[in-house]
Amino acid sequence: MEDVESWPTGRLLSAAARMVERRFDRFLADLDLTHAGMITLHHLESGPLSQRELARLCRVTDQTMSRTIERLARTGHADRAEDTQDRRRTLVRISVKGTEALVAARAEEKRFEKDLGYDAIRPQLIALIRKQL
Protein backbone atom coordinates (compact mmCIF):
# COMPACT_ATOMS: atom_id res chain seq x y z
CA MET A 1 0.00 0.00 0.00
CA GLU A 2 2.84 2.38 0.75
CA ASP A 3 6.06 1.87 -1.12
CA VAL A 4 8.35 2.17 1.87
CA GLU A 5 10.75 -0.12 0.01
CA SER A 6 11.53 2.54 -2.54
CA TRP A 7 12.33 5.32 -0.07
CA PRO A 8 15.87 6.62 -0.15
CA THR A 9 17.89 5.58 2.87
CA GLY A 10 17.98 9.09 4.31
CA ARG A 11 14.23 9.17 4.46
CA LEU A 12 14.06 5.73 6.02
CA LEU A 13 16.45 6.91 8.70
CA SER A 14 14.49 10.04 9.56
CA ALA A 15 11.18 8.23 9.53
CA ALA A 16 12.44 5.46 11.80
CA ALA A 17 14.09 7.94 14.17
CA ARG A 18 10.96 10.04 14.38
CA MET A 19 8.81 6.98 15.00
CA VAL A 20 10.95 5.68 17.84
CA GLU A 21 11.37 9.09 19.38
CA ARG A 22 7.65 9.84 19.27
CA ARG A 23 6.92 6.55 20.95
CA PHE A 24 9.48 7.13 23.67
CA ASP A 25 8.34 10.71 24.25
CA ARG A 26 4.98 9.44 25.41
CA PHE A 27 6.77 7.99 28.42
CA LEU A 28 9.17 10.87 28.97
CA ALA A 29 6.31 13.36 29.11
CA ASP A 30 5.23 11.83 32.42
CA LEU A 31 8.68 12.64 33.79
CA ASP A 32 8.42 16.19 32.49
CA LEU A 33 11.41 15.37 30.33
CA THR A 34 12.21 15.35 26.63
CA HIS A 35 14.51 13.22 24.53
CA ALA A 36 17.07 16.00 24.23
CA GLY A 37 16.90 16.65 27.95
CA MET A 38 17.46 13.03 28.80
CA ILE A 39 20.56 12.81 26.66
CA THR A 40 21.91 15.95 28.29
CA LEU A 41 21.28 14.61 31.79
CA HIS A 42 23.08 11.43 30.85
CA HIS A 43 26.27 13.34 30.24
CA LEU A 44 25.89 15.29 33.47
CA GLU A 45 25.74 12.19 35.61
CA SER A 46 29.45 11.97 36.21
CA GLY A 47 29.85 15.62 37.19
CA PRO A 48 29.19 19.26 36.19
CA LEU A 49 30.12 20.39 32.70
CA SER A 50 30.20 23.62 30.75
CA GLN A 51 27.48 24.17 28.16
CA ARG A 52 29.94 23.98 25.33
CA GLU A 53 31.27 20.65 26.51
CA LEU A 54 27.73 19.37 26.82
CA ALA A 55 26.88 20.53 23.33
CA ARG A 56 29.91 18.69 21.97
CA LEU A 57 29.00 15.47 23.74
CA CYS A 58 25.36 15.66 22.67
CA ARG A 59 26.35 16.62 19.13
CA VAL A 60 24.26 19.74 18.89
CA THR A 61 25.18 23.41 18.51
CA ASP A 62 25.89 25.63 21.52
CA GLN A 63 22.71 27.51 20.78
CA THR A 64 20.54 24.42 20.83
CA MET A 65 22.18 23.29 24.06
CA SER A 66 21.56 26.69 25.60
CA ARG A 67 17.82 26.25 25.18
CA THR A 68 17.81 22.61 26.27
CA ILE A 69 19.53 23.56 29.51
CA GLU A 70 17.18 26.47 29.99
CA ARG A 71 14.35 23.98 29.87
CA LEU A 72 16.07 21.49 32.21
CA ALA A 73 16.61 24.30 34.70
CA ARG A 74 13.00 25.40 34.39
CA THR A 75 11.73 21.91 35.14
CA GLY A 76 14.22 21.49 37.97
CA HIS A 77 16.19 18.62 36.46
CA ALA A 78 19.42 20.59 36.45
CA ASP A 79 20.77 23.96 37.54
CA ARG A 80 23.40 26.42 36.40
CA ALA A 81 26.26 27.79 38.49
CA GLU A 82 28.84 30.39 37.59
CA ASP A 83 32.33 29.10 37.04
CA THR A 84 34.49 31.07 39.47
CA GLN A 85 37.64 30.30 37.52
CA ASP A 86 36.29 31.56 34.21
CA ARG A 87 33.31 33.85 34.47
CA ARG A 88 32.34 33.40 30.85
CA ARG A 89 31.55 29.81 31.61
CA THR A 90 28.43 28.26 33.15
CA LEU A 91 28.67 24.97 35.01
CA VAL A 92 25.62 22.79 34.61
CA ARG A 93 24.78 20.25 37.31
CA ILE A 94 22.16 17.52 37.46
CA SER A 95 19.72 17.75 40.39
CA VAL A 96 18.24 14.99 42.52
CA LYS A 97 15.03 15.19 40.52
CA GLY A 98 17.12 14.97 37.36
CA THR A 99 18.96 11.87 38.55
CA GLU A 100 15.72 10.16 39.48
CA ALA A 101 14.14 10.97 36.14
CA LEU A 102 17.21 9.71 34.33
CA VAL A 103 17.14 6.39 36.17
CA ALA A 104 13.45 5.92 35.37
CA ALA A 105 13.92 6.89 31.73
CA ARG A 106 16.81 4.50 31.30
CA ALA A 107 14.85 1.62 32.77
CA GLU A 108 12.00 2.29 30.35
CA GLU A 109 14.47 2.58 27.49
CA LYS A 110 15.85 -0.88 28.31
CA ARG A 111 12.38 -2.40 28.36
CA PHE A 112 11.55 -0.65 25.13
CA GLU A 113 14.63 -1.88 23.30
CA LYS A 114 13.99 -5.40 24.51
CA ASP A 115 10.40 -5.34 23.29
CA LEU A 116 11.35 -4.08 19.88
CA GLY A 117 14.49 -6.11 19.49
CA TYR A 118 16.10 -3.90 16.90
CA ASP A 119 19.63 -4.55 18.11
CA ALA A 120 20.68 -5.76 14.70
CA ILE A 121 20.76 -2.19 13.39
CA ARG A 122 23.19 -0.96 16.04
CA PRO A 123 26.51 -1.91 14.41
CA GLN A 124 25.58 -0.26 11.12
CA LEU A 125 24.34 2.88 12.82
CA ILE A 126 27.52 3.09 14.86
CA ALA A 127 29.64 2.66 11.75
CA LEU A 128 27.62 5.36 9.97
CA ILE A 129 27.97 7.83 12.82
CA ARG A 130 31.67 7.13 13.04
CA LYS A 131 32.03 8.25 9.42
CA GLN A 132 31.43 11.78 10.67
CA LEU A 133 30.11 13.11 7.36
Partner DNA sequence: GGCGGATGCTCAGCAGGCTGAACAATGGGC
Partner DNA sequence: GCCCATTGTTCAGCCTGCTGAGCATCCGCC
**Angstrom distance (rounded) from CA 80 to CA 17:** 30
Give 58-76 as a DSSP string.
HTS-HHHHHHHHHHHHHTT
**Angstrom distance (rounded) from CA 94 to CA 80:** 9
Backbone angles phi, psi at 86, to 5 degrees: -130, 105
State yes or no: residue 60 binds DNA (CB under 7 A).
yes
State yes or no: residue 30 binds DNA (CB under 7 A).
no
Candidate segments 32-40, 96-104, 105-113, 116-124, binder of DNA by CB under 7 A: 32-40
State yes or no: residue 47 binds a second copy (CB under 8 A).
no
State yes or no: residue 11 binds a second copy (CB under 8 A).
yes
Which residues contact a second copy (rule: CB under 8 A)?
Answer: 2, 4-5, 8-24, 35, 39, 57, 59, 109, 112-113, 116, 118-122, 124-126, 128-133
